[in-house]
Amino acid sequence: MLIKLKREDKLVDISHEELNKILKNGQAIAIKVNGQLKDLEYVSSINSNDTVEIIDSNHREALDILRHSTAHIMAHAVKELFPDVKVTIGPSIEDGFYYDFDREIPFNEEDLHKIEKKMQEIIKARIPFKRREMSKDEAIELFESMGETYKVEIINELEEEIVSIYEEGGFVDLCRGPHIPHTGIVKAFKLLSVAGAYWRGDEKNKMLQRIYGTAFWTKEELANYLNFLEEVKKRDHRRLGKQLKLFEISDEIGAGLIIWLPNGAVIRKVIEDFWKDEHLKAGYQLLYTPHIAKLELWGKSGHLDFYRDNMFSSMSIDEVAYQLKPMNCPFHIQVYKSELRSYRDLPLRYAELGTVYRYERSGVLHGLLRVRGFTQDDAHIFCTEEQLEEEIQKVLDFTLFVLNTFGFRDYEIYLSTRPDKYVGTLENWEKATSALEQALKRRSLAYLIDPGEGVFYGPKIDIKIKDVLNRAWQCSTIQVDFNIPDRFEITYRGKDGREHRPIMIHRALMGSLERFMGVLIEHYAGAFPLWLSPIQVEVMTISEKHIDYARHIFNRLSKEGIRAKLNIENEKIGYKIRQATLGKIPYMLILGDKEVEDKKITVRRRDGKNFELIDLDDFISDIKRIITEKKQIEEVEK
C-alpha cells in the first residue's frame, strides 16, 4: 500500500512501513491526513493514496498543538491539587493558552507556583495522551459522573453523535485534538496570570477564573518571550498614562469613558492641529456634527439592521426616539444633501474629528484601546466611479504620510472582501473590491486578502501598524460604499445633464484618537517625540539665587512657542532631575552660578546626555528644527 507523503509542497509515494520508520525517529508530534490534523496513533488508519504531512516542531501548526496539550496538563494539575474545581474550556491562543475554571476561592500567586510544580511532575512522568471516541450519551454519562457540568452542557449542544475525549494519567477531557504523544515533550512553559472570565463571555453567566500560560519548544524561546512581556509591562499605556498624568478613567463617570488630563489634552491638541492643517492642505473641508440624532436616521443608514448590538439604547426627547451616534457618516450625507451637486463639485471631501459612542462589554474594555466613547479621525469622500481609484490612491498616500510622521513605518495591509451578510449588488461589490486592489497594486503595496471581513456596505483596506515591539495595531481603514448613497438617494448632475449616484469612501487614518494615543504611548514608552511632548523643556534652578535668571529663560522659551515648565522649588537638583526624567521631559535646563555668570545654559536630555554652557539662542534654534522635523530627540545628535 502506497501513501502520498507531502514534503516541501511535493508529494512522494512511500509505503506504510517507510512512514512508520520516519515517525519513529521521535521528531513528529502529529500528522495531517488529507488536510486534517490527527494524532500519531492515527497512522494505523491511513489508507492507500491518502496524503500525509508530518507535523514536527518546525511546522507552523505545531506550536498550537504543544500549547493546547500544555493547557490540558495544567487542567490535570489543577484537578489533582483542587479536586472540587470544575473545568470548562482550555484552548491555545496567539501567544500561549488558557483554561477557565469554576472555583469559589480565587487562585493566587502561590497557587500558580503549586500548579507549575505539579505540571512539572506530570511532564516528567511522560504520560501518554490517549484518544477515545464514544457516543454523546456515553460522554454525558461519563462527565455527569465526574460532576463536570460545563462539559455536559457543551456536549448537549454538539451536533455530532460521536465525540472524542482525551485521557492522560487519569485526567479526562472532552477534546477534538490532536495532542502531542506524551507529556514529556513539553520542555518550556510558564503560567502567567489569573483573570476573571464569564462563562462563554456572557455577563449573565457565572464568573470563572482564567489561568493564562504559555509554552515554547525551547527554554531560550520562553526566556525571550518573558523578557518581551516585561517590556510590554513597562510600556503599558495605563500605567504610563497615570505616571505622566495623561488621562484618567473614573468609576464615578463610567467605564470606557476617557477624561483627558492637562498633559494628555496638550498632546491631543497637537495631534488635532496637525490633522486639521494637513486635511485642509489635502483639499478636505472640516465639519462638526451633533452627538445624537433621531433613531430613524440609523434605520435609514442600515446601522439598526447590522450594528444594533454595538449601539446604546435610544432615548426619548419630546416623544421622539433619539440615538447616541455610533458613526459620523449619516451626518456627512446630510451635508452633501444640503445643496444640489454637479460633477464639477466632485470629489467632495468632508473630514471631522467626530466623537462617537459604541457599546462594549465591560470585560473587553481596556484603557484607551477599547472604550465606549471615542473620537474618530473620520472623513467621507463623494466621487464618481471614474474618480474612485485615484481617490483611493490619494487616501493611501495620505494615510502612510500621517503614520510615518508619527514614527510608524512598518505595516500589515489587508484587503477585506464581501461578508456573508451584506447589502448592495454583486456587481458593485466587484467594482469596489477591484478599485481597492488596483490602488494597492499601483502603489506597489504588499497586502493579504482577508476573506469575508468587509463591512456590510462594502469592501475595505485595513492597515495595521507595527510598533517598536513588532506588535500589530489596527488603526487605518479605507472603505468603499455603494449602499448608503442609495439608501439616502443622493445624486449629482453629470455631464450628460442626468442625475447620477456618487460613490462614497469612508476612511480613518488613525482610527480613533483614544486608541491611537494608547498605541503612541506604548510605542514610545511615554518618551514622545519633542513635537508631541506636553512639556518640552523644564527649567530648573540649583538654588534660590538663580530664580531670576530661570524666570528670564522660561519667559523667553514661552515667547518662542516652546512648551516649558519652571521648577524653582526648594529641592536638591538631583531630585529635580530625577522627577523630570521620570516625567519623560525631553530637555532639562540646569541653571547655577556658572550659567548665570556666563549667561549660558546647561542642557540635559532625558536619556542622560549633557551639553554644558551653550547659548540659549542656539538651543532654541536647534529644538525648533527638531520640532519641525518631528523627530525623536534621541535620533538627533548635538
**Residues labelled as active-site residues:** 329, 358, 376, 378, 380, 460, 506
The answer to whether 302 touches 314, Cβ cutoff 8 Å, is no
The answer to whether 290 touches 331, Cβ cutoff 8 Å, is yes
Instruction: Provide CB contacts within 8 A for 18, sequence distance 6+.
Output: none
**Residue holding cell 477624561?**
259
H or E element that contains 335 = helix 329-337
DSSP string, 437-502: HHHHHHTT---EEETT-SBTTB-EEEEEEE-TT--EEEEEEEEEESHHHHHTT--EE-TTSSEEPP
The answer to whether 439 touches 505, Cβ cutoff 8 Å, is no
Omega cis (within 30) before 347? yes
Omega cis (within 30) before 178? yes
The span from the CA of 240 to the CA of 228, in Å, is 17
The span from the CA of 218 to the CA of 66, in Å, is 12
The span from the CA of 100 to the CA of 212, in Å, is 9
The span from the CA of 232 to the CA of 284, in Å, is 37
Would you put residue 26 in left (φ > 0), alpha (ψ -120 to 50) or beta?
left
The answer to whether 487 touches 481, Cβ cutoff 8 Å, is no
Closest CA to 289 of 333, 358, 373, 352: 352
CB atoms within 10 A of CB 135: 12
The span from the CA of 472 to the CA of 519, in Å, is 10
Which residues, listed in sequence order, are joined to residue 503 by a DSSP beta bridge? 383
The answer to whether 369 touches 492, Cβ cutoff 8 Å, is no
CB atoms within 10 A of CB 293: 17
Nine cell digits for residue 57: 516542531
What phi and psi values does residue 439 have, to the nearest 5 degrees? -65, -40
CA distances from 440 to 392, 396, 436, 504, 624 (A): 9, 8, 6, 18, 36
